[in-house]
Structure 1
Amino acid sequence: MILSWTPREFKNFIKGAQLKIVDEYEAMAKQAMFNRYAQNAKRAKEKKMFDAQVARRRIMNGLDNWKESRELKVNVNRYRAAQKAMKAYTMKGG
């Protein structure tokens, strides 16, 4: 059966399988959220664990890093600016 598929059909089959995994991850993230809220979390978000919309967009664009789709905890620009400032900082008197 697989040998009779065109390359495009095979590629679409693979995308479908990946989208199915994304849906499973989304369901697991929702389950974890319910568990987390049940255990008194104040600011827990589903996107902190897994952002399904970003993952779907990455799959549709052909990117391979769709499993790392989650909201970043650290503002990268601020982090880099702080690192740059720390490198430029010199201690006085020691």
Structure 2
Amino acid sequence: MSWTPREYSAFIKGAQHREVDEYQYSARSALFNRVAQNRKTITEKKLFDAEKAHKRVERESKDYKDSKETLVSLDRYRKSKEAMKEYLKQFTTSKKGG
């Protein structure tokens, strides 16, 4: 069986959509598990945004698997941690005297 380039492209795109659906299913399973364990608030979209991933597949973007919302910006965290160190220095300097 030989495929035309258009049929092959449609086949690949379908496989990518199927993979996105699997990620969505995994995110939903993790969400249900999380809620069952400790009732913290979290949304499926924070784990994996399937709508965004499907749009990326349609645009033929290679990063469709990275369609998840970052829970914590590491760069922001590092900057705030560094700022807090500087702030706390003013309280930790001991003055000798009596």
- TM (norm. structure 2) is 0.71
Which of 43, 46, 56 is 1:45 aligned to? Answer: 43
Match of 1:17 in 2: 15
Instruction: State the alpha-carbon separation in 1 of the partners of residues 73 and 39 from structure 2.
Output: 22
Instruction: State the alpha-carbon separation in 2 of the partners of residues 16 and 8 from structure 1.
Output: 12
Aligned-partner residue type, residue 7 of structure 2: E
Comparing 22-31 with 56-65, greater Cα deviation is found at 22-31
Instruction: State the alpha-carbon separation in 2 of the partners of residues 40 and 56 from structure 1.
Output: 31
Instruction: State the alpha-carbon separation in 1 of the partners of residues 28 and 66 from structure 2.
Output: 17
Report deviation, 1:41: 3.3
Where in structure 2 are there 5+ consecutive unaligned residues?
A: 84-98
Structure 1 residue runs of 4 or more that deviate by more than 2 Å after TM superposition: 72-76
Provide the aligned C-alpha RMSD in A. Answer: 2.6
Aligned identity (percent) is 47
Instruction: State the alpha-carbon separation in 2 of the partners of residues 73 and 28 from structure 1.
Output: 17
Instruction: State the alpha-carbon separation in 2 of the partners of residues 30 and 55 from structure 1.
Output: 15
Instruction: State the alpha-carbon separation in 2 of the partners of residues 71 and 41 from structure 1.
Output: 20
Q: How does 1:1-94 map to 2 (within 5 A)?
A: 1=1, 3=2, 5-74=3-72, 79=76
Where in structure 1 are there 5+ consecutive unaligned residues?
A: 87-94
